[in-house]
Every structure is written in structure tokens, then in C-alpha cells.
Amino acid sequence: MLFGLGWDPTMILLVPAILLSLYAQFRISSAYRHYSQVRSRKGLSGVQVARLILQSKGLHDVQIEVTEGRLSDHYDPRTRVVRLSRDIYQGDSLASVAVAAHETGHALQHASGYVPLRLRSTFVPVANFGSSMGPILILVGFFMPAFNILLQLGVMAFSFAVLFQLITLPVEYNASGRALALLQEGGMLENDEAQGVKAMLNAAALTYVAAALAAILQLARFIIIAQGSNDD
């Protein structure tokens, strides 16, 4: 079996994840392209939506800042800052409303002590280590049989990255659910606009499903490689 030197039979496992990732990117790109052209009839910009949601929950100490990049929006639990890309921050489209509400949903999760969000924050360092060092340890262990233990350590390290992706799923879906409910409860959407916001949020969520599937299948591939090396 060739590992790290081009194609090997285990790479066929990654095909479903690659296809889903391509589809997810197409969905989010097309949804954003469409709904960024549909103006919210309330005329609220992304930053205004975020402020209204935070104020409605008494979270006056959470800041909102502009960040550069396209769809680089995120919530930073360390500094309690909602960061919105310039188009989302200033824009008053349904895409801006949806993304701003979603990221603010993470701030609400943080304030309420939402357990999956706390777990995800805890796993960030080990997940980063596992995703970067896991494949390296596996590669070294595969080509240097004397250090075969590195294969097992690599698989174990990468499993933390997989766990991180799995924990991310409920965090993202919950934030989207909160976002849609808060937009409707706060009167920030007309009834027929909710479907557009939901389509935007669902397209974004699919990218996290694709990432989780890719991580799971990559882990399965690494396990097969490690077992094959032990058999040899």
C-alpha cells in the first residue's frame, strides 16, 4: 500500500466527503449570492440585528466588531465579541440578517452556559494539535516500523479533531435555531422572509456536516492504514 506518495486504495473512502463538500460549498455560495441581493423589508443591517438581539437578552457587555474577509463572521467567546464581515455588518439583505443573527446566537449560547459550546471551546487546542500532528505521526510511524507506536498515537490524536467536528454540529444547529426564533419573536422579519433566512442558515449548516463527514472518513482511513501496517 502506498501512503503519502499519491493514490492508495483507502482514499476511495474520502470520495463521499469530497462530493458532499463540493455540494455544500455550492449551496452556501449560491444561497449567499441570492439572498445578499434580497433586501430585508425591515431595512435592518447586520449590526442592527445583532444589537437588537443582544439588547433583548440583556447582553450589553458583548461587543460587535467588523472583521475583514468574505463570510469570516464568528463569535469569540474569549473576548465576548461578535465579529461580522463588512458586507454582513453594513448590509441589510436577508443574508446579512441571517448571518448576524446566527453569530449572535453563539453569544447567547455562551451567556447561558450551553454545554456543547463549552466543550467545543475546551477541545480547540487538542483538536488543532490532532488535525495538524495526527497525520504527521501516522506518516512517520508508517515509514519507520521501529516507531510503529507513532501510528497509534497519530490515530488517537486525530480522533480528537473528529470529536471536535462532531461537537460542532449541535453548536451550529442550535445557534441557527436560536437565530431564526429570535428574528421572528423580535419582529425583525416578515413572515414570508423566514423561509429565505432558513435556507441561508441550512446551507451554512451543511458545510459543518460535510466537515464532520470528512473527518470521520479520514479517521477510518487512518485506522485501516494503521491496521495494515500492524499486519505487515
Active site residues: 103
How far apart, in whole angstroms, are the C-alpha atoms of residue 112 and residue 57? 10
How is 191-205 classified by DSSP, letter by letter? GGGHHHHHHHHHHHH
- C-alpha cell at position 1: 500500500
The owner of cell 455562551 is: 110
Question: Would you state the cell numbers that stand for residue 125, as one nine-digit string?
Answer: 487546542
CA–CA separation, 27 and 87 (whole Å)? 19
- CA gap 123, 1 in Å, rounded: 33
In single-letter form, the type of residue at position 68 comes to E
**Residue 12 CB neighbour total at 10 angstroms:** 11
